[in-house]
Structure 1
Amino acid sequence: MTTAARRHGDRRISPVFLGIVAVTAVSGWAVWTGFATLTGLAVFLFVVGAWIVSLCLHEYAHARTALHGGDVSIGAKGYLTLNPLKYTHALLSIVLPVVFVIMGGIGLPGGAVFIERHRIRGRWRHSLISAAGPLTNVLFAVACTAPFWLGALDGVPWPFRFALAFLAMLQVTAAVLNLLPVPGLDGYGVVEPWLSHSLRRRVEPFAPFGLLAVFVVLWLPAVNGVFFDGVYAVMDAFGVREAEIWCGRDLFMFWRGTGDWCQVP
């Protein structure tokens, strides 16, 4: 196989990712048209599918930025195919974020692509690589909320509207959490290149526990309340009401049977 052919194969979009996109599109169509008998199930499939797509794009953004930053090994690892099965830690990047969405409706950031940092020169490049993932979540949130802040909701079915609101909230929580300057999260990766070598060495052992620490702190009622007050404030700025997010969450968690009251405005 020639080098050019190998490079093309390393960047071909994976059938796995295309299958996830197809499931998302079909379930989104079912929510929009009311085709599905169980609207909640259709909302569930649509949100989970779109959430996995956003996770893949998050990791792709890290990988693509690293490639242009100097890490030419990225392609051979399969990170540019958008295939979630190619990630270093599929459990952290896909499974756990999806489980936490199902359990409580929070966009938990993952961590997956292995970047050979020694190949990259310049602190700005290192910071940009870390920031690329959360910025993808921000763009995804902007896209999901566009009908709200553009005033283009006329004719949008209520279940689809609620699903978009809930999906956008997941993107906002993922972006906010991932931008925290906590070891192991992308926010720390943004500031790490600017820290002294001695400080980085002292902090490094805590990196594997950063995400766990954030999760534990979020369980504290006071912290949880402040965090979600901030998230709802951001959503309100985008024109999405808190009630719409809750309706989307209730429809998503259809097995609890609490979303019936959200079927009408």
Structure 2
Amino acid sequence: MKVKEVAKLTGISVRTLHHYDEIGLLSPERQYESGYREYTDENLETLQQILFFRELGFPLKKIKDVLNSPAFDRREALLMQKKMLLEKRSRLDQMIRLVEKSIQHAEGEIKMTNEEKFEGFDFSHNPYEKEARERWGNKAVDRSNAKLAGMSEEEQEAMTKKMNDIYKQLAGLRQELPASEKAQSAIKEWYDFLNNNFGNYSLEAFKGLGQMYVADERFTKNIDQFGEGLAQFMCDAMAVFADKNK
């Protein structure tokens, strides 16, 4: 399909599609001597992925990082997007109910208590823990929480220092190939650290955690404090490590 046909099919402007091409997010695969470029079915599947991620609020740079990752799996991405969209729908339904009640309260039809005015908001949960429980089960998270609770302040500080040291070591290697001996040696240290301190991580869970480093901007922001692009580098190195050690 030519760019105008794709624009008509999807409702996306030609200008937007050209922008995706310019930034390397989505480029038509076929180009002819006439200068015309055509989108393949695979291109359209990639575009669908982009639009799902956009709906979920992912910035274009983050979408590009996710799609270009060697660890990217389309089926797994679709399952994750479905879960996130269902959660978004649930939150929106809850907020709509709160708005409707607030309208009735403003019009004098009902009387809301102060507690009811804020029952649709929830900032108390830990999104990292929720994601971890859903991916790897409650037992792993509970073991991690129990271990942290049983540590003294000095032990927790020592563990944090060790974790930061590994991040710094990996940040210094992020220009290496993820499959290089140095990178794989450092990522093994990270794998061992997680298993020694936060329960038993299977190779599959370890690979999935790496994918979260680039799929979730909260992780990316924290990890990239040690060096721009570290989250992506760790994601790629963790995927290589998991696949090599199966």
TM-score (norm 1): 0.27
Q: Structure with the greater relative contact order (CA < 8 A, sep ≥ 6): 1 or 2?
A: 1
Compare CA radii of gyration and give the structure with the larger one.
Answer: 2
Normalising by structure 2, we get a TM-score of 0.28
- More helix per residue: 1
